[in-house]
Amino acid sequence: MNSDDDRKLEALDLEIARALQIDVPPLVMPELPDIDDKVVTLPVRKRSKAPVWFAVAATVVLGLSIALRMSPMFAEYDSLADEVLAHLDHEPGALRVTNEPVTDRRLQRVVPASLAVFDRGATLITYANPCIINGKRVPHLVIQGEHGPVTILLMPKEKVDSATPFDGETVHGVILPVGDGSIAIIGPREEPLEPIQENVRASLTWTT
């Protein structure tokens, strides 16, 4: 190795020595989170939603059960007349004043031939719907009387011994024996019910 090479090596050693003498700032470690609060805190595992939905479903079922138990279907009444009056209170939409009749098809669906033959004749029937009275499905009809809508309930399985008149707050009515069943007729207090009774009896024949 010649002198030039020696000088080059010496110069390189000096550069290395100076480099090693440079002040290096102390190593600063980042602050670690508190071990008690965060380091040992693991990601929360997602819980199954099934228990939540089961709880919601149970609440809904309970609510429906309570609602049904409080509905007219499960209510207890002292008499058939009381139940008839209560039923009217739960279907106020049926008692609307109108001159629009229900169709023959609708009437036949509500009063099927297997239940009864009902000759509407010239009677204006403005409402026809099945309803539940004393746990039985019966036709609920409404006609337009002289002083307002009149309700007629055809009850083929409700046998009564004699005519039973009754009164509500703003209505009066009667339950009449017809064969092995009965009919209930309810109208405004000022409505004469006798002509309607005669007309309905003459128009109805049980087939059940």
Classify residue 38 by its DSSP letter. I
Looking at the domain assignment, is residue 148 inside a domain?
yes
pLDDT given for residue 126 in this prediction: 96
What are the angstrom distances between the C-alpha of 164 and each of 17, 27, 63? 123, 103, 37
pLDDT digits over 10-69, tens only?
Answer: 655 555 555 555 555 565 666 655 555 545 555 555 555 555 555 555 565 455 444 444
Evaluate if residue 8 carries a pLDDT over 90.
no
Taking the CB of residue 85, how many other CB atoms lie within 10 A of it? 19
Q: Is residue 174 part of a domain?
A: yes
Judge whether 115 lies within some domain.
yes
Structural domain span for residue 130: 77-206
Q: Is residue 133 part of a domain?
A: yes
Domain membership of residue 50 (yes or no) is no
Write out the two tokens for 87.
Answer: 């039923």
Has residue 70 been placed in a domain?
no
Q: What is the residue-wise DSSP string for 120-160?
A: -TT--EEEEEEEEETTEEEEEEEEE-SSSEEEEEEETT---
pTM exceeding 0.75: no
Alpha carbons 97 and 193: distance in angstroms, whole number? 18
In a domain, 18, yes or no: no
Q: What is the DSSP letter of 204?
A: E
Query: Each residue of 30-44: pLDDT tens digit?
Result: 665 555 554 555 555
Give me the number of domains the chain comprises.
Answer: 1
- DSSP letter at 112 equals -
Residue 99 lies in a domain: yes
What average pLDDT does range 126-138 have in this prediction?
Answer: 94
